[in-house]
């Protein structure tokens, strides 16, 4: 009995550093040696794909990087797969940032997508423009919804946007779609000043935002939601362009198994030692 | 791979592993180095990007004849008085204007996006659509009713109301579990994304592994020699 209690005690008091170390190993090893486990596509991602797949050459997308750099790591698969799909559909794309750190993302993004941009002859000014950091606060978002050229006159390098495809954009109703890639910095302002007026919007957000963002899909403000890195991986699968998302799914699977394992272990320890001790 | 790419990969991998040194369970100078570097980098970038933003939207706008923007620049300068203890009251005016404008812009629409539209989305036909849709709609409708009864504070909960409140309470536990799982998935994704960035393309993998080994070895050596605590700057 005494030995049994000791085992329970050991399970209840596992050193957290062992948990960190195991999680670190379980996540890092599949990155260094990928396994490519199977992946099912969720209805959320199918809906997101349907919205982006319906775009055509006459459409203009406002591609909003509403993220700091650390958060980008979670949604980069969604960002890259969405941009690839938009380029393949021939839709025009204006890339805007609402966080100073997001200004470093477009060059990385286009470096990764160079092959598809060359294949579809996707050119700066004609097909896409990088606007840089133009949405620092709610007032800027609200103003751009009413008078876009009153707020934005130049691209990120100081070149005038006049003469580009953005000449056709005046206010909220001229955008075919707003695609937000968010860690929660400014997406609420877009909901209030674009979504509520009727501009079609989709969002790829980080995991912690999903429960609070999903109700906006139910209300129709967001046409679709791409959930976290998992959604990005599913989109990569749908467009047949494996990228960082699909490569990360092995780590996710093993990481989740490990946490389930520790939840079971901790509960055994709790009922076998902590609770019994409290009852005594 | 250019020499610049190599330097970026080495610095990124080493500083990231220094950040993860917090998992060792003790404060360390390596963690402090990474943390202070990030704060410095973040502050510098924010200042540069925001100054450029003010130039592009403010100064160029004034040059183009939009004189009202001068008022914005003046208000912006007034905020800087906040750093001076004697004149910091001057900063209150622009802050009050910014807060007032922000609240007004947000509140006039939040009533729709955060309240009315959500109620409208909950009141949906319960008997139309396929079996899955019907199940989802019933689940949402019942959960709303059960959970709302849990938050009835002005009457004593007895009989069916008590049952409803109890079911609502357990449904909330299920919701908390789901939110926790989403949060864990999100945090894991951040970690996985960072590790992927440090390990892709494949030539970065040895740098990542070397950084892990070096940081762990440094931590152990510093800990054994008693330097870990001595070299860690005070908070």
Contact between chains at A137 and B120 (C-beta distance less than 8 A): no
CB contact under 8 A, A192 and B110: yes
A108: nearest Cα among B196, B34, B87 = B196
Q: Which residue, A95, A106, A93, is CA-closest to A57?
A: A93
Instruction: Determine the average pLDDT of the residues in A29-41.
Output: 85
Over pLDDT 70: what percentage of chain A? 98
What mean pLDDT value characterizes chain B?
90
For A92, phi then psi, to 5°, come to -80, 150
Q: Flag if A230 and B52 touch (Cβ within 8 Å).
A: no
CATH number at residue A72: 3.40.50
Q: Domain total for chain A?
A: 1
Instruction: Name the one residue in this structure whose structure tokens are 């909960």.
Output: B157
Smallest CA–CA distance, residue B156 to chain A, in Å, is 31
- Cβ-defined contact of A193 to B188 (cutoff 8 Å): no
Query: Residue B170: pLDDT band by 50, 70, 90 thresholds?
Result: very high
Whole-number Cα distances in Å, A270 to A240, A280, B84? 46, 14, 55
**pLDDT for res B200:** 85
pLDDT of residue B233: 85
What residues contact B143, with CB distance under 8 A and at least 6 apart?
B168, B171
Q: What residues pair up with A180 in beta bridges, in sequence order?
A: A64, A203
The per-residue pLDDT for range A181-197, each reduced to its tens digit, is 999 877 889 999 999 99
Whole-prediction pTM? 0.87
CB B186 to CB A228 under 8 A? yes
Q: Chain A residues with CB inside 8 Å of B102's CB?
A: 137-139
Q: What is the mean pLDDT of residues B42-51?
A: 93
> A8 lies in a domain?
no
Start-to-end Cα distance in chain A: 15
Please tell me if residue B88 touches chain A, with a CB cutoff of 8 Å. no
Has residue A5 been placed in a domain? no
Q: Which of B25, B53, B190 sits opposite A17 (nearest CB)?
A: B25
Is residue A94 pLDDT above 90, yes or no?
A: yes
- CA A87 to chain CA centroid, Å, is 18
The confidence band for B8, taking pLDDT boundaries of 50, 70 and 90, is very high
CA end-to-end span of chain B, whole Å?
A: 39
Residue A60 domain flag: yes
Flag whether pLDDT at A4 surpasses 60.
no
- Please indicate, yes or no, if residue A58 is contained in any of the structural domains: yes
Cα B185 to Cα B29: distance, rounded to the nearest angstrom: 30
Report, in angstroms and rounded to the nearest whole number, the Rg of chain A calculated over CA atoms: 23
Query: Mean of the pLDDT values across residues B18-31?
Result: 90
Q: What local confidence, expressed as pLDDT, does residue B169 receive?
A: 94
Average pLDDT, chain A: 91
User: How far is A77 from B110, CA to CA, in rounded Å?
Assistant: 31
Q: Residue A13's pLDDT is what?
A: 86
Lowest mean pLDDT segment, chosen from B70-74, B103-107, B164-168: B103-107
Which has more confidence, B8 or A2? B8
Cα–Cα–Cα angle for B207, B212, B214, rounded to 5 degrees: 90
Residues 210-239 of A with CB under 8 A from B: 210-211, 215-216, 218-221, 228-230
Q: Which of A25, A35, A73, A98 to mutate to probe the B interface, most B CBs <10 Å? A: A73
The answer to whether the CB atoms of A153 and B185 lie below 8 A apart is: no
Q: Is the pLDDT of residue A98 over 90?
A: yes
pLDDT of residue A2: 54
How far does CA A108 lie from the centroid of its chain? 15
What pLDDT score does B235 carry?
A: 67
A71-80, B90-99, B139-148, B185-194: which range is least confident on average? B185-194
What per-residue confidence (pLDDT) applies to A5? Answer: 56
Q: Does the structure show a pLDDT above 60 at A3?
A: no
Assign B128 to helix, strand or coil: coil
Task: Flag if A192 and B109 touch (Cβ within 8 Å).
Answer: yes
Mean pLDDT value across residues A6-33: 86
**Could B183 and A207 be called an inter-chain contact, meaning their C-beta atoms sit closer than 8 Å?**
yes
Best residue of B112, B189, B207, B210 to probe chain A, by most A CBs closer than 10 Å: B189
Please give the structure tokens belonging to residue A17: 């550093």
pLDDT confidence of residue A181: 96
Burial of A237 (0-12, 13-18, 19+ CB in 10 A): buried
A48 vs B: CB within 8 A: no
Structural domain of residue A49, as residue ranges?
A: 43-243
Answer whether residue A278 is part of any domain: no
For tokens 């510098």, name the residue. Answer: B44
Kindly report which listed range (A96-100, B22-26, B211-215) carries the lowest average pLDDT score.
B22-26
CB A48 within 8 A of CB A75: no
Within a domain: A79: yes
Q: How many residues does chain B have?
A: 235
What's the pLDDT at B114? 80
The answer, yes or no, to whether residue B64 has pLDDT greater than 70, is yes
Residue B79 has pLDDT above 70, yes or no: yes
pLDDT tens-digit series, residues B87-124: 999 999 999 999 998 888 888 888 888 888 888 888 88
Q: Give per-residue burial for A126-144: e unless 16+ CB within 10 Å, then b.
A: ebbbbbbbbbbebbbbbbb
Which residue on chain A is closest to B57 by alpha carbon? A151
The CA-CA-CA angle for residues A134, A137, A142, to 5°, reads 85
Sign of CA dihedral B47, B50, B54, B55: positive
pLDDT score for A115: 95
Q: What pLDDT score was predicted for residue A62? A: 97
Report which of B141, B160, B159, B161 is spatially closest to residue B151, judged by C-alpha positions: B161
The 3-class secondary structure across chain A, one letter per residue, is CHHHHHHHHHHHCCCHHHHHHHHHHHHHHHHHCCCCCCCCCCHHHHHHHHHHHCCCCCCEEEEEEECCHHHHHHHHHHHHHHHHHHHHHCCEEEEEECCHHHHHHHHHHHHHCHHHHHHCCCCECCCEEEEEECCCCHHHHHHHHHCHHHHCCECCCCCECCCCHHHHCCCHHHCCEEEEEECCCCHHHHHHHHHCCCCCEEEEECHHHHHHHHHHHHCCCEEEEEEHHHHHHHHHHHCCCCCHHHHHHHHHHHHHHHHHHHHHHHHHHHHHHHHHHHHC
A-to-B residue pairs, Cβ atoms closer than 8 angstroms: 151
Task: Please indicate, yes or no, if residue A180 is contained in any of the structural domains.
Answer: yes
What is the per-residue pLDDT across A207-263, written as a single tens digit (0 to 9) for each?
888 888 988 998 899 999 999 999 999 999 999 999 889 988 988 889 999 999 999
Q: Does residue A150 lie within any of the structural domains? A: yes
- Rounded to the nearest angstrom, the minimum Cα separation between B40 and chain A is 13
Write out residues 12-71 of B within 8 Å (CB-CB) of A. Answer: 20, 23-25, 42, 45-46, 48-50, 52-53, 56-57, 60-61, 64
């Amino acid at each position: 009995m005494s030995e049994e209690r000791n085992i329970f005690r050991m399970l209840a008091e596992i050193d957290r550093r062992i948990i960190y170390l195991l999680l670190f190993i379980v996540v890092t090893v599949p990155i260094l040696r990928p396994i490519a486990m199977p992946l099912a596509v969720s209805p959320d991602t199918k809906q997101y794909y349907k919205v982006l797949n319906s775009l055509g050459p006459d459409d203009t997308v406002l591609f909003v990087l509403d993220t700091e750099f650390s958060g980008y790591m979670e949604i980069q698969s969604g960002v890259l797969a969405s941009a690839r799909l938009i380029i393949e559909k021939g839709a025009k794309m204006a890339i805007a940032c609402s966080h100073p750190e997001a200004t470093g993302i477009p060059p990385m993004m286009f470096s990764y997508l160079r092959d598809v941009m060359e294949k579809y002859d996707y050119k700066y000014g004609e097909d896409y423009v990088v606007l840089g950091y133009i949405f620092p606060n709610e007032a800027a978002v609200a103003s751009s919804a009413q008078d876009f050229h009153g707020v934005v006159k130049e691209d990120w390098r100081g070149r005038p946007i006049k003469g580009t495809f953005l000449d056709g954009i005046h206010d909220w109703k001229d955008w075919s779609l707003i695609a937000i890639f968010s860690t929660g910095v400014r997406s609420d302002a877009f909901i209030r000043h674009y979504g509520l007026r009727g501009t079609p919007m989709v969002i790829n957000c980080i995991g912690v935002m999903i429960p609070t963002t999903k109700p906006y899909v139910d209300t129709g403000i967001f046409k679709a939601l791409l959930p976290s890195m998992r959604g990005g991986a599913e989109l990569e699968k749908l467009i047949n362009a494996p990228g960082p998302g699909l490569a990360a799914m092995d780590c996710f699977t093993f990481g989740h198994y490990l946490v389930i394992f520790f939840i079971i272990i901790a509960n055994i320890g709790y009922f076998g030692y902590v609770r019994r001790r409290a009852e005594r | 791979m250019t020499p610049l790419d190599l330097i970026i990969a080495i610095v990124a991998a080493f500083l990231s592993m220094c950040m993860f040194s917090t998992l060792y369970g003790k404060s360390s100078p390596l963690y402090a180095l990474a943390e202070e570097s990030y704060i410095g980098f973040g502050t510098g970038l924010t200042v540069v990007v925001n100054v450029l933003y003010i130039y592009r939207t403010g100064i160029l706008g004034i040059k183009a004849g939009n004189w009202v923007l001068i008022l914005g620049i003046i208000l912006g300068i007034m905020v800087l008085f906040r750093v001076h203890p004697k004149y910091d009251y001057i900063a209150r005016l622009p802050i009050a204007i910014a807060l007032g404008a922000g609240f007004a812009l947000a509140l006039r629409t939040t009533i729709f996006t955060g309240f009315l539209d959500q109620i409208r989305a909950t009141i949906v036909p319960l008997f139309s659509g396929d079996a899955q849709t019907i199940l989802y709609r019933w689940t949402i409708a019942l959960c709303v009713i059960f959970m709302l009864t849990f938050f009835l504070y002005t009457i004593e909960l007895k009989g069916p109301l008590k049952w409803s409140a109890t079911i609502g309470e357990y449904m909330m536990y299920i919701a908390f579990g789901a939110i926790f799982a989403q949060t864990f998935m999100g945090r894991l994704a951040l970690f996985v994304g960072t590790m992927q960035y440090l390990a892709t393309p494949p030539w970065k993998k040895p740098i990542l592994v070397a950084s892990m080994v070096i940081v762990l070895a440094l931590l152990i050596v510093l800990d054994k020699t008693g330097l870990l605590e001595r070299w860690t700057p005070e908070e």
